[in-house]
Amino acid sequence: MAIVFSIIGGIIGSAVTGYQMRNKSSSTGEASNNITISASDNATIASAVAQKSMPSVVGITTKGVQQSFFGSVEVQGVGSGVIVDPKGYILTNAHVVKLNDQVVENVTVRLNDETDIQGKTIWADEMIDLAIVKIDTNEKLTAAELGDSDAINIGDPAIAIGNPLSLQFSQTVTQGIISGLDRYVGAVSGGGYMTGLIQTDASINGGNSGGPLLNSKGEVIGINTVKVQSAEGLGFSIPINFIKPIIKQVIETGTYKETSIGMLTMDVNTAAQIFGQKEPVEEGIFVYKVYDNSPAAAAGLEAGDIVTKIGKDDVKDNNSLKTILYKYQEGDSAEVTYLRNGKENTTQITFTDYSIEKDADAQKDMQEQEAKRQEELQRRQSTEDALLERFRQQFGN
């Protein structure tokens, strides 16, 4: 994904020990595919997991028109998703429902029985690369069972199901292990800026995005999001425990209310360039402004502070800050580590119903920054258009 950083960044900104499964429901609805997995070897595990989970895995396609050197051409995107509620709520990646750098409202969902149903994107956040699609159908839908991503360990079996490359290879099953935990990879091959990712060597290719990563019980432990193209066996998934509160709130309210900390911030390297001085740390966020009546103000944070940690999570930049804030809800508290005048300090912050969207002062700042961002985008687009026109004139027939 192409990310344009403005001078002042965003406001808000993350085994087989027994296979007998208890019958339990997913976090958002009853999982109707009550299959008990009792396996003794890897091949049997993969087979049993596939049998249990395939009815919950779907294909998602987007269609649109894109301008090219040859004029308007029809383009199509393909990805995967997993049913998380029998009422038709499907979890996927935000980049799966994007076309021409825009989130697409209308998508086509292909069920396990190859039935195609029109769906709508009801929520998406490109920064954490997650989206929820809703379909309305009389078909009986099987919701996946959501596992506990905090309970997994390196070396545990991992099974991925999805549609690599195209729907021609739909419901492809690959198997591997959990290769690493708590990874941060940035924007790689279409993914977001999630921290705390699950690393696996189960094959994940284009089209697998949005599909589930499953444990040996057939429970969803992550949503596959990116693969490092320059290496083999380096795939990453967003932990399901991070996503559960989002699913619950979107299903209940139709959207997700992000937790706001109430600061205008920029990455420390950007601050160093603007102010012409070397910052005492290489990673963190520089506090440019603290808004009144916000959790940050109540915690005593001030302009000029550099926040480096919230709870156990390192704040590397604005992107990681936003990801970290997804872990907290109204009423939660966390310890914030920050630098002031070169000295490390800590303070306790409590998240409230404060909303950056309802803060007039914050919205004014955001609008000014968005205007600058759009101005820069238009400048770059004009340059690209001019170069393309020169190319057409010189080489076109």
pLDDT band at residue 73 using 50, 70 and 90 as cut-offs: low
Q: Is 209 a catalytic residue?
A: yes
Is 103 exposed, middle or buried (CB count within 10 Å of its CB: 0-12, 13-18, 19+)? middle
Q: Note the pTM of the prediction, 2 decimals.
A: 0.69
* Lowest-pLDDT range of 9-23, 110-124, 160-174, 256-270: 9-23
pLDDT band at residue 37 using 50, 70 and 90 as cut-offs: low
Please state the separation of Cα 188 from the chain's center in Å.
12
Q: Is 216 a catalytic residue?
A: no
Contacts of 252 (CB under 8 A, 6+ apart): none
Catalytic residue (one of 27, 209, 216, 320): 209
Catalytic residue (one of 129, 267, 359, 365): 129
Domains 42-253 and 263-356 share a fold: no
Catalytic residue (one of 14, 26, 85, 95): 95
**Residue 19 predicted with pLDDT over 80:** no
Q: Where are the domains of the chain?
A: 42-253, 263-356, 359-392
Q: Quick one: tokens of 259? A: 């937790």
Q: What is the pLDDT of residues 80-110, one digit of tens each?
A: 999 999 999 999 999 899 887 788 899 999 9
Task: Please give the residue that has the higher pLDDT: either 272 or 55.
Answer: 55
pLDDT of residue 254: 84
Residue reference for tokens 């020169």: 390
pLDDT of residue 162: 86
- In the CATH hierarchy, which top-level class contains the domain 42-253? mainly beta
Q: Is 129 a catalytic residue?
A: yes
**Most trustworthy range by pLDDT among 100-104, 122-126, 194-198, 382-386:** 122-126
- In the CATH hierarchy, which top-level class contains the domain 263-356? mainly beta
